[in-house]
């Protein structure tokens, strides 16, 4: 029989020779994984921050549209309270994101500068449309169905008429004169199924008209005087173009005489054409040369 080969006894040094590289490899892998997780953690934090801002911007858009739907002024304090909560310091950043969503998705705008936006009181603004005029016609923008399409159409027609009367009277209309106008229109008592007084208060609350009450000084006899003025929402939604459009529609056609009366009533100065301005400048230069003897 061939001699059996004796196995070499296994000692501790043989056991420790091979595992070392494996441990080093595992350690390297774990370090790489740690770096990867750390980098991903930063990305996740950034994405979470962007997602949180985006959600707040969407919440602000919903708040602005809901306020506009009910014709409620959009107030800065309301945005902080109902939208931002404890994120009040992020107002400008969230507002800018909401502005982009309003423009690109809804065709609306909420300017950040107060001097470029009609104001109602302190820090309150009106959502404005950025759609071209071609998409603002009555055939496209239908009256709201709440409370009903007929009631909404009647309300729009009534406040447009009252605002136009105020504007055509130099921007101020006395209570007595307004009542005479409404009496002629058979609208002095009711507007649709609502009392005229209630409708006027609603118009005042929505910002279409502003009521001014002047009381006599203390200790002096006299009656208080009430005048009605054009409100900020009317300036935005109706404007002078809306008033002129209403008058032209009522008269059936436009004429030079009608346009002249409209301009005089609304205080609009006729715009001179470029040719007229050029002719006037040329005539002025000619007069200057003649006076100098040139």
| pLDDT tens track, the chain, 294 positions | 555 544 444 444 444 444 444 444 444 444 444 444 444 444 545 555 578 899 999 999 999 999 988 888 888 889 999 999 888 888 999 999 999 999 999 999 986 543 444 444 446 778 888 888 888 877 787 777 777 888 999 999 999 999 999 999 999 999 999 999 999 999 999 998 899 999 999 999 999 999 999 988 887 777 889 999 999 899 988 999 999 999 999 888 788 999 999 999 998 876 444 444 455 555 555 555 555 555
CATH number reported for the structural domain that contains residue 69 in this entry: 1.10.10.1200
Tokens (6 digits) for 91: 């107002």
What's the sign of the alpha-carbon dihedral 175, 177, 181, 183?
A: positive
Largest CA distance in the chain: 145
Rounded Cα distance, 236 and 127, in Å: 9
Backbone angles phi, psi at 194, to 5 degrees: -120, 150
Please tell me whether residues 90 and 162 are part of one structural domain. no
Closest CA to 207 of 231, 172, 183, 173: 231
Tokens (6 digits) for 126: 């009106």
Please tell me whether residues 239 and 261 are part of one structural domain. yes
Task: Identify whether 85 is part of a domain.
Answer: yes
Task: Identify whether 20 is part of a domain.
Answer: no
Rounded Cα distance, 161 and 155, in Å: 10
Please tell me whether residues 161 and 130 are part of one structural domain. no
How confident is the model over 18-51, as pLDDT tens digits? 444 444 444 444 444 444 444 444 454 555 557 8
Task: Identify whether 292 is part of a domain.
Answer: no
Please tell me whether residues 162 and 258 are part of one structural domain. yes
The DSSP symbol for 294 reads: -
Please tell me whether residues 106 and 178 are part of one structural domain. no
Structural domain of 118: 48-135
Beta strands in 110-252 (DSSP E): 124-125, 128-129, 172-174, 190-191, 194-195, 209-214, 225-230
Q: From the CB of residue 42, how many other CB atoms can be counted at a distance below 10 Å? A: 10
**% of residues, the chain, pLDDT over 90:** 42
How many distinct structural domains can be found in the chain? Answer: 2
Please tell me whether residues 93 and 157 are part of one structural domain. no
């Amino acid at each position: 029989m061939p001699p059996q080969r004796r196995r070499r006894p296994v000692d501790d040094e043989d056991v420790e020779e091979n595992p070392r590289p494996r441990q080093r490899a595992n350690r390297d892998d774990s370090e790489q994984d740690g770096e990867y997780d750390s980098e991903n953690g930063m990305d996740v934090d950034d994405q979470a921050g962007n997602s949180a801002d985006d959600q707040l911007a969407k919440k602000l858009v919903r708040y602005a549209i809901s306020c506009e739907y009910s014709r409620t002024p959009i107030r800065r304090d309301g945005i902080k309270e109902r939208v931002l909560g404890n994120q009040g310091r992020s107002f400008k950043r969230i507002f800018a994101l909401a502005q982009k969503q309003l423009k690109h998705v809804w065709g609306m705008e909420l300017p950040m500068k107060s001097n470029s936006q009609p104001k109602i009181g302190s820090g309150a603004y009106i959502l404005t449309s950025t759609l071209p005029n071609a998409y603002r016609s009555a055939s496209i923008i239908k009256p709201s169905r709440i409370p009903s399409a007929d009631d909404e159409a009647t309300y729009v027609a009534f406040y447009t008429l009252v605002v136009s009367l105020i504007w055509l009277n130099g921007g101020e209309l006395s209570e007595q004169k307004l009542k005479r106008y409404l009496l002629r229109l058979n609208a002095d008592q009711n507007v649709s199924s609502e009392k005229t007084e209630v409708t006027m208060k609603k118009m005042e609350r929505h910002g279409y008209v502003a009521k001014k009450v002047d009381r006599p000084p203390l200790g002096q006899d006299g009656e208080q005087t009430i005048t009605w003025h054009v409100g900020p929402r009317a300036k935005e939604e109706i404007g002078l173009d809306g008033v002129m459009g209403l008058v032209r529609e009522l008269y059936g056609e436009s004429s030079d005489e009608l346009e002249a009366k409209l301009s005089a009533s609304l205080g609009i100065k006729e715009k001179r054409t470029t040719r007229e301005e050029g002719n006037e400048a040329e005539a002025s230069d000619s007069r200057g040369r003649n006076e100098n003897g040139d």
